[in-house]
Structure 1
Amino acid sequence: MIDDNVAQELLYYYVLRHYDVSLLGSQLERMLIAIKTGKAGSCWQVGGGIVMKLTLRSVIIKRV
C-alpha cells in the first residue's frame, strides 16, 4: 500500500492532466478517504466540476 501523501499527489496530477482542474488539499484528502472507505455505487462531487463514482473494482473520475 502506498503512502497517503503519494496517493494524494497521484490523484492531483491525474485530475490536473486529464481535466485541467487543480484540486485543494482538503478535496484530495476527502477523495482518498472516499476511495478507501466508500461503498460501491456511491457518487461524490469532489469540486471543480469533478465527480467520482465508486464501483466494486474501480474508481471512475470524470468532469460534468
Structure 2
Amino acid sequence: MFERLRSLCLAGGGWLSRLALIALGRSAGFSLDEIARMLGADGRPEIDRQLLADKAEGLEAPFES
C-alpha cells in the first residue's frame, strides 16, 4: 500500500505537489482558474511571474492607504 502511494506521489509531477500548489494559491487569493493556468499540461508548474506580480500589487494596495 505504501509503495503504491509513494509511486502516485512521484508520478506525473506528483499529485501531492500539485495539491500543495493549489492550497498555496488559494490561500494567497488566487482563483482556481488562475491556479489552473499555472499548472502545465504535464502537471508541472508553469508560473506566470507577471500574474504573481499583479496579484502581489493588488494585495499590497489596501495596506498602502
TM-score, with structure 2 as normaliser: 0.39
The answer to which structure has the higher helix fraction is 2
**Bigger-Rg structure (1/2):** 2
The answer to which structure has the higher strand fraction is 1
TM-score, with structure 1 as normaliser: 0.39
